[in-house]
Amino acid sequence: MSAPFSLPPLPYADNALDPLISANTIGFHYGKHHKAYLDNLNKLVEGKDLAQMSLEEVIRASVGKPDMTGVFNNAAQVWNHTFYWNSLKPGGGGKPGGTLGAMIDASFGDYDTFRKEFANAAMTQFGSGWAWLVKDGDKLAVTKTGNAELPMTQGKKALLTIDVWEHAYYLDYQNLRLKYVETLIDRLMNWDFAEKNLAS
């Protein structure tokens, strides 16, 4: 029997974000960390009803259940990492145009304020976790989550994310989380992906 969940291919070559995110980092982050969450999840759901569910259904079925912490953590981390790879693209970043640009102005005042708040969320997530741009009601908002937590279980729609676990940046930026975060916001954010999420 084949494993119920599989690792989606990266949306670009492993050196496509180099030198901002090196192929070495992607080799460990995608090839080892992301894959380990996937392998753990497949082991945990083997032979259970969970193996018949979609990844999102597994996340929703396991969140907040003390006896399913391992399932939730691994399923959410599989989802978060796939979302993260898609949140980045070569030549991305900066102020988006169109609907998103207008919504950023309406929600944050202007792009520079959004940029500051997004970076601040990433910097003030103590320890491991994620910073997110989300749609919350009619507005955009910036939020952060610890460990594997994610917006979908808080009634918010994720548009973009930044992984602030140390494994995401330590090889390229050592302890300089701010430099990593600002590089992603200014040069790698995939606004096309955010637009697609907004419309979905």
DSSP E strands, the chain: 129-136, 139-146, 157-163
Residue in the shown chain whose Cβ atom is closest to Mn ion: 163
CB distance 180 to 173 below 8 Å: yes
Indicate the residue among 165 and 173 with the shorter CB distance to Mn ion.
Answer: 165
Q: How far is the CB of 167 from Mn ion (least distance, A)?
A: 5
Q: How far is the CB of 142 from Mn ion (least distance, A)?
A: 19
CA angle 11, 195, 110 (to 5 degrees): 120
Q: How far is the CB of 93 from Mn ion (least distance, A)?
A: 19
Indicate the residue among 72 and 165 with the shorter CB distance to Mn ion.
Answer: 165
Indicate the residue among 83 and 165 with the shorter CB distance to Mn ion.
Answer: 165
Question: CA-to-CA distance for 60 and 177, rounded, in angstroms?
Answer: 30
The strand pairing partners of 134, in sequence order, are 141, 158
Interface residues toward Mn ion, by CB under 5 A:
163, 165, 168
Indicate the residue among 107 and 143 with the shorter CB distance to Mn ion.
Answer: 143
